Amino acid sequence: MRTTADLTALALGALERLGVDPARTTPLDDPSAGRPGDAAHGLVARSPITGGALCGVRVDDADAVAAAVAAASDAFVAWRETPAPQRGAVVKRLGELLTEHKEDLAALVTIEAGKIHTEALGEVQEMIDICDFAVGLSRQLYGRTMPSERAGHRLQETWQPLGVVGVISAFNFPVAVWSWNTAIALVCGDPVVWKPSELTTLCALGCDALLQRALREHDAPAGLHAVVLGERAVGEALVDDPRVALVSATGSTRMGREVGPRVASRFGRCLLELGGNNAVIVTPSADLDQAVSSVVFGAAGTAGQRCTSTRRLLVHASVADEVVGRVARGFDSLPAGDPFDDGVLLGPLIHDAAFDAMQAALDRARAQGGEVVTGGERIVPGDQPDADADAEAEAETGADAGGVWVRPALVRLPAQDGVMLAETFAPILYVVTYEDFDEALALHNAVPQGLSGGLFSNDVREAERYLGASGADTGIANVNAGTSGAEIGGAFGGEKETGGGRESGSDAWRAYMRRATNTINFSGSVQLAQGVDFG
């Protein structure tokens, strides 16, 4: 198991190679910066692998946010006039730099978010993929031409750059969510000001450094991208700034409830990507091998800390015991440990509070008559942390050492109620059984969230019903595929308390542009629509 000192060295090396300005961070032993938590340090970057502090990170205040938005607004004036394929060339360069620095950025993701390394590499790959997509898109920002009802008239729509985009992102996808927004916003002609999670600031500095390099190489206007670091207040300053045309906010439903009305009160645009509570239905005709392995990955992958994590298993009574037994064995056999190590599939939770929230949810489940079939307990990974080194790190940094690993919990509930209706951001999979398919569909949709769902069935009628108008009410609905692991080509997002936003592929780019409907009269006379005669 790596120590805090190892992780600090890895992180600082990656930041240097990514080209991050050393002034953005402060070493913890810098006497002029004081102790972790002092004002000069601002935020302290930590790793959930050891719980230890890595370095201080200088934060921004409301004035700095206003200055970043002002610079972005100035940049917009030139950027919106830059031909879209030229804007795409900058994003192409970003994709090349991401490819070159994939390992460094993935290391930061593993260090700060605790993701196993293959998932961290996958997250950076997603960034490269969205850059490719955006480059192609830069030649395809199509508008439609419609037949006019008037002779000698042409009716068309055009898509124009919108303005400054404020991106707010969560800890669990610390780099990909930024790229989904930024690659698309840039080709659409919009500058970006990014407020990342306070838990993953080093990842954000790494992304910003690569993009700044691409922008400089292409002589793009200064101020086209900025990262502003801090806690909620920094996000609020961005949300309330009337020069921010679109706020794209990813995080908890609690955050969306605060951000949505604030942006609406100034008639700004909002794209919300909020919490999920995703179900898999397993029917009697399902291929159980496929279903079980998808459910184990969906529920336990990223230690249950994905918005698309599988949290509810709705299984037909006839196959329930077999499916529950096999998923439990899957959970029990997942190798836990240092997320950098090959073969490890279970990394740590993000912090102690996530563990406490998980225990509170399990207590509620028990109080509802639930049976914890397996898991829920804190585990110490096989390869024990080096106690001496951690004690040393603790003495050096004043930080609490010790990451939090948990065995994913599988809980049978008598009914879908109470705790099962809420998203707990930890690996808990609730199971209820059903008797007929209508009941399964009703259960699938009877939660406040609407992000992702999956049906395992070899019955074409069930599959078509699941995807139909009375089927899954989620933004993502899969057949014989689990709830998590979306591709960038489709539009990503969900309904109800998930917020309704769509980002990434398909036509999600339209949220980042202003649509204008144009009528061009080449008839030589005035003709009013609907045959109106005005003298």
Binding site for ligand NAD (CB under 6 A): 168-173, 195, 197-198, 231-232, 235-236, 239, 250-252, 255, 258-259, 273-276, 307, 423, 425, 451, 498
240 vs 394 by CB, closer to ligand NAD: 240
276 vs 298 by CB, closer to ligand NAD: 276
Q: Do residues 262 and 232 make contact, with C-beta atoms less than 8 angstroms apart?
A: no
Q: Do residues 340 and 328 make contact, with C-beta atoms less than 8 angstroms apart?
A: no
Q: How far is the CB of 342 from ligand NAD (least distance, A)?
A: 26
- DSSP character for 41? T
26 vs 181 by CB, closer to ligand NAD: 181
214 vs 354 by CB, closer to ligand NAD: 354
Q: How far is the CB of 296 from ligand NAD (least distance, A)?
A: 20
Q: Do the bridges between strand 495-496 and strand 269-273 make them parallel or antiparallel, or are there none, so unpaired?
A: unpaired
Rounded-to-integer distance, Cα 389 and Cα 402, Å: 11
Q: How far is the CB of 172 from ligand NAD (least distance, A)?
A: 5
Rounded-to-integer distance, Cα 185 and Cα 508, Å: 10
268 vs 275 by CB, closer to ligand NAD: 275
160 vs 252 by CB, closer to ligand NAD: 252
Q: How far is the CB of 198 from ligand NAD (least distance, A)?
A: 5
Place of tokens 């400054």: 164
Strands in 409-412's sheet, in edge-to-edge order, are: 371-374, 409-412, 428-434, 310-316, 278-282, 452-456, 476-479
251 vs 381 by CB, closer to ligand NAD: 251
The strand pairing partners of 194, in sequence order, are 167, 227
Longest dimension (CA), the chain: 93
Residue nearest to ligand NAD (CB): 235
Q: What is the helix (H) or strand (E) element at residue 167, kind and residue range?
A: strand 164-168
Q: SS in 3 state form for 66-87?
A: HHHHHHHHHHHHHHCCCCHHHH
Rounded-to-integer distance, Cα 126 and Cα 177, Å: 9
Rounded-to-integer distance, Cα 1 and Cα 383, Å: 6
Q: How far is the CB of 392 from ligand NAD (least distance, A)?
A: 30
Q: What is the helix (H) or strand (E) element at residue 61, kind and residue range?
A: none
Q: Do residues 314 and 453 make contact, with C-beta atoms less than 8 angstroms apart?
A: no
Q: How far is the CB of 376 from ligand NAD (least distance, A)?
A: 20
Rounded-to-integer distance, Cα 217 and Cα 36, Å: 36
Q: How far is the CB of 303 from ligand NAD (least distance, A)?
A: 12
273 in active site: yes
Q: Do the bridges between strand 43-46 and strand 428-434 make them parallel or antiparallel, or are there none, so unpaired?
A: unpaired
Could you tell me the end-to-end alpha-carbon distance of the chain, in angstroms, rounded to an integer?
85
Rounded-to-integer distance, Cα 173 and Cα 300, Å: 16
Catalytic residue among 126, 273, 394, 497: 273
Enter the tokens of residue 44. Answer: 């302290």
Catalogue the active-site residues. Answer: 273
